Amino acid sequence: MSTFTMDTGTSRATPSPVPGKRTTAPSIRARKIAGEDGLRTEQPIVMLTAYTMRMAQLLDPHCDMLLVGDSLGQVIYGLPSTIPVTLEMMCAHGAAVVRGSWHALVAVDMPFGSYEASPVQAFESAARIMKETGCAAVKLEGGEAMAPTIDLLTKRGVPVIGHVGLTPQAVNVLGGYGARGREEHEAQKIIADAKAVADAGAFCIVVEGVMEQIATAVARSVAPPVIGIGASADCDGQVLVIDDMLGMFERTPRFVKRYDDLAARIGEAARAYAEEVRARTFPTADQTYRPKPSP
């Protein structure tokens, strides 16, 4: 199910990579070691979101982990938030990303409503995600309240990535997507959440949208690697939403660095195509089937 093979009978086959061993949850967990200045990874962990097979192929050689984030709700489906994202969506995109990758650990987000009711509900949803996608881990949002769920999942064979700080599925409770931890009591709560998630067995933790010093404090105090997004360069790794870092959107959060301006480049390609179609200068002889000249 999750092997990386290409059907060369399709019109868009790309070269098959040399098969290798996929990155595992224990190997990610083991990257955090006790150094002279506390717990840290020697080399930061690289994570990006991916939602499609082809994007996974392009990102896989550069990433330790690919996250099939429920951000696909906004990025792929044009939904207003991650709340309406379904298990079906996550399974379909998760399977595509597993098919398009061979080296990175693929983690799939558990969507809102698929895990919060009880640890048993979470296990049933996680088992479905793992069976249907072939992914090696799931990610779920929440701190202390989710500790019993993370404990049950990890003890029953589901590697879990925690997610604390700004948790977008809780947007209706938080009242928006602003950075968290400006008040001391909220900062302490985020640190306590991260510790609870770590103690429950998460093999790594995403910390999103928090004051820099909170992310640093969390990274230095919990045993699993801490992956930051809008957090701190001092985290054990970083993650970004792929479409944000490629410049696919005109407006992105302040913490995003755009490494390209694909929106403008795609618009320019579409404009050039439209111009040539209207001028009948596309297709040319190069793109047209004609009878072979007789010998």
Find tokens 């390609």 and name the residue.
Answer: 269
Task: Print the binding letters for residues 22-61 with ligand KIV: x by CB under 6 A, - otherwise.
Answer: ---------------------------x------------
- H or E element in which residue 199 lies: helix 184-200
Regarding 243 and contact with ligand KIV (CB under 6 A), the answer is: no
Burial of 35 (0-12, 13-18, 19+ CB in 10 A): exposed
Q: Which is nearer to ligand KIV, 104 or 274 (CB)?
A: 104
The interface region with ligand KIV, picked from 29-37, 38-46, 66-74, 282-290 by CB under 6 A, is 66-74
Minimum CB distance to ligand KIV, residue 53 (Å): 18
Nearest residue (CB) to ligand KIV, 81 versus 154: 81
Residue nearest to ligand KIV (CB): 69
Residue 149 touching ligand KIV (CB under 6 A): no
The CB-of-226 to ligand KIV minimum distance in angstroms stands at 12
Q: Which stretch binds ligand KIV (CB under 6 A): 30-38, 68-76, 194-202, 245-253?
A: 68-76
CA distance 160 to 154: 7
Considering only 69, 201, 209, 225, the residue that binds ligand KIV (CB under 6 A) is 69
Question: Distance (Å, rounded) from C-alpha 98 to C-alpha 284?
Answer: 38
Binding residue for ligand KIV, selected from 153, 229, 246, 248, defined by CB under 6 A: 229
Task: Write out the DSSP string of 49-93.
Answer: E--SHHHHHHHGGG-SEEEE-TTHHHHTT--SSSTT--HHHHHHH
Among 60, 64, 109, 243, binds ligand KIV (CB under 6 A): 109
Kindly report whether the peptide bond that precedes residue 224 is cis, defined as omega within 30 degrees of 0. Answer: no
- Least Å distance between CB 255 and ligand KIV? 10
Contact present, 6 and 14 (Cβ < 8 Å): yes
- How many residues belong to the site for ligand KIV (CB under 6 A)? 11
Taking Cα atoms as reference points, which of 158, 120, 119, 117 lies closest to residue 139?
158
Q: What is the dihedral of CA 245, 251, 254, 255, to 10 degrees?
A: -20
Active site residues: 208
Angle between helices 184-200 and 212-221 (to 10 degrees): 30
**Which residues make up the interface to ligand KIV (CB under 6 A)?**
49, 67, 69-71, 109, 206, 208, 229, 239, 241
